[in-house]
Structure 1
Amino acid sequence: MLKNYKMVLEYDGSRYDGWQKQGNTDRTIQGKLEGILERLAEVPVEIHGSGRTDAGVHALAQTANFHLDTRMSEGEIKDYLNQYLPEDIRVISLDRAGDRFHSRLNAEEKTYLYRIETGERKQVFERKYIYGFGRPLDVNAMREASRYFLGEHDFKSFCSNKKMKKSTVRILKAIEFEEEGSRLFIRYTGNGFLHHMVRILMGTLIEVGEGKRSPKEMKEILKAMDRSAAGTTVPAEGLFLEKVSYKD
């Protein structure tokens, strides 16, 4: 009998072409996981992730689910996956889920973390996990600008998919700033995110922090509903999917 399993995993996205399995590459997180589960089950197994992290983006707690017919316990499946997964992907937890549970469709909100180094020297051993911006930023101005994004808005200006046909309306519940020496950590929590949305929001806020834009401009950028109105797309290495929340 097929059972539904929910798992939480972490991964270093540095050497992968993103979460989603693609025909032109075998370097995807979904592809690695499905390959191991297919070996276990001896039939193809499809994994559903809560979201599709892009190439180079990391996850501290990605949630996924899959259906499997096996007599193995949850702990044994988890151990089997971790035994054969590469060292930059790890299953943190794996449990039985209700038959109707779907990691993407049932997600209530997600939190993404972006890490920036504003100091002159980029840390050699953390270069894959923080954006080495290398210049000071006006964090108070960035905080002021970020308030314009809170609540329900059409974030079309912050979507890199020009062919997007579905609604680009999303709800941003919180944008939190944390300073640690020359490092700046910014967390975005919302009910969903568009393609490159966090990285474009981040690039726009950085331009505010540099004095290139005023906080009040954020209102006009939202109203424009045009990608060219917003700021640059910052690099992937500073971005982490930190948390996915569900009703239960």
Structure 2
Amino acid sequence: MTKKVVLVVEYNGSEYKGWQAQKFGVPSVQENLEKALAIIANHPVKVVCAGRTDSGVHASAQVVHFETDVERSERAWTIGVNTYLPTDITVVAASSVSDDFHARFSALSRRYRYVIYSSAFCPAILAKGVTWTYKTLDVAAMEAAAKVFLGTHDFSSFRAIGCQANTPIRTILNFDVQQLGQYIVLDVRANAFLHHMIRNFAGVLMSIGAGEKPVSWAKQTLEAKDRTKGGITAPPTGLYFVDAQYPDVFNVPKRPLGPHFLPYVDEPVYELPS
């Protein structure tokens, strides 16, 4: 009897050309995960994720599902699968889920964190895990600018030229900017995201934080609905998929908000969108 299993997966995307499996010889997170799962399941496995990540982008809690007709313990789907994965990909949770669950289509929201490291010197440790700037950033100005993006808007100024989404309309549910020591974290939750959307947010906010542009530039860029008005696309190194929210009925495993090197911050409980 076929059943569905949901996994929570952590990965360092530095050595991969993104989440999605591609042509032979192009390293991807999906391909490595499917190969490891197939060994434990003893049959080919195809996985579906909550939100595909680009080349060099990481995840602390990517949610995936797959179908299988074999009985395996949660330990087998985690520790067993991890035995066959490279060290930069780890399954951190697994559970059975109802047949009507879908990692992508059942998600009510997705959440990313963009981590900036502000220091005179580029970090040797986490060099590919953060976005480094030698500039001193005004976090209050970045926070004020970020609030412009809250709500439902046409985000054409923040989508990649090659974005294949049917519409540029998205709803930003939360957008917080906070400083944790030398880390500045952009924390964004939305119903869905456009291609390069968060990295383009980061490019605009870093320019504002550095004093190169006024806070009002965020609104001007949004209202322009023109990617050429949106400034640079920030590097992928600081971007993490950190959470996907689902209706409680599915009982999807939850993990502490990552990435794990950040100090823990007690935060308000966000309501699920209706």
Normalising TM by the smaller chain, what interval? over 0.9
Name 1:82's counterpart in structure 2.
Answer: 82
Partner residue, 1:114 = 114
When residues 80 and 181 of structure 1 are mapped into structure 2, their CA distance, relative to the original with a 3 A threshold, is closer
Which deviations, in whole Å up to 9, do the C-alpha atoms of 1:143-184 show, x marking residues without a partner? 111111011111111010445350111111111122123321
Instruction: Please state if 1:235 is matched with 2:231.
Output: no
Distance in 1 separating the partners of 2:231 and 2:9: 31
1:220 paired residue number:
220
| C-alpha deviation, 1:24, in angstroms | 4.5
For residues 25 and 206 of structure 1, do their structure 2 counterparts lie closer, same or farther at Cα, with a shift above 3 Å needed? same
Write the distance in 1 (CA, Å) between the matches of 2:178 and 2:236. Answer: 19
Identity of aligned residues (%): 35
Residue identity matched to 1:157:
S
How many Å separate the matches in 1 of 2:202 and 2:149? 11
- Contact 2:170-2:193 within 8 A present in 1 as well: yes
Partner of residue 272, structure 2: none
Describe the shift of the 1:32–1:191 C-alpha distance in structure 2 as closer, same or farther (beyond 3 A).
same
1:145 corresponds to: 145
Matched-pair contact (CA < 8 Å) for 2:40–2:76: no
* Partners of 1:113 and 1:242 within 8 A in 2: yes
Q: State the alpha-carbon separation in 1 of the partners of residues 235 and 44 from structure 2.
A: 34
The residue type paired with residue 82 of structure 1 is N
Partner residue of 2:252?
A: none
The Cα offsets for residues 200-235 of structure 1, whole Å up to 9 and x where unpaired, read as 000011111122222222222222221111121111
Query: 1:35 aligns to what?
Result: 35
State the match for 1:192 in structure 2: 192
The more displaced of 162-171 and 93-102 is: 162-171
Is the deviation greater in 107-116 or in 61-70?
107-116
Structure 1 residues 12, 72: closer, same or farther in 2, change over 3 A?
Answer: same
- Cα contact 1:158–1:197 (8 A) shared by 2: yes
List gaps (5 residues or longer) in structure 2: 249-274
Which residue of structure 2 aligns with residue 52 of structure 1?
52
Q: Is the 8 A contact 2:142 2:177 kept in 1?
A: no
Alignment TM-score, normalising by the size of structure 1: 0.95
Number of residue pairs the alignment of both structures matches: 248
Question: In 1, Cα distance between the equivalents of 2:36 and 2:156?
Answer: 38
2:183 and 2:16 map into 1 onto residues whose CA distance is 25
Distance 1:98 1:123 in 2: 44
Q: Hey, what's the Cα distance between the residues in 1 that align with 2:77 and 2:212?
A: 52
Indicate conservation of the 8 Å contact 1:201/1:231, yes or no: no
Distance in 1, Cα, partners of 2:242 & 2:93: 15
Give the distance between the partners of 1:59 and 1:148, measured in 2 at CA.
Answer: 26
Tell me how far apart the structure 2 counterparts of residues 183 and 234 of structure 1 sit (CA, whole Å). Answer: 16
Q: Secondary structure, in 3 states, of the residue corresponding to 1:241?
A: strand
Say if 1:59 and 1:242, in contact at 8 Å, map to a contact too.
yes
Q: Is the Cα contact below 8 Å between 1:9 and 1:90 reproduced in 2?
A: yes
Q: 1:83 to 1:187 in 2, by over 3 A?
A: same
Pairwise mapping of residues 147-166 of structure 1 onto structure 2 (< 5 A)? 147-162=147-162, 164=164, 166=166
Once structures 1 and 2 are overlaid, which stretch shifts more, 219-228 or 28-37? 219-228
Please give the root-mean-square deviation of Cα atoms over the aligned residues, in Å: 1.5
Deviation of 1:247 after TM superposition, in Å, equals 1.3
Range 33-42 or range 132-141, more displaced: 33-42
Mapped to 2, the partners of 1:26 and 1:91 lie a distance apart of 21
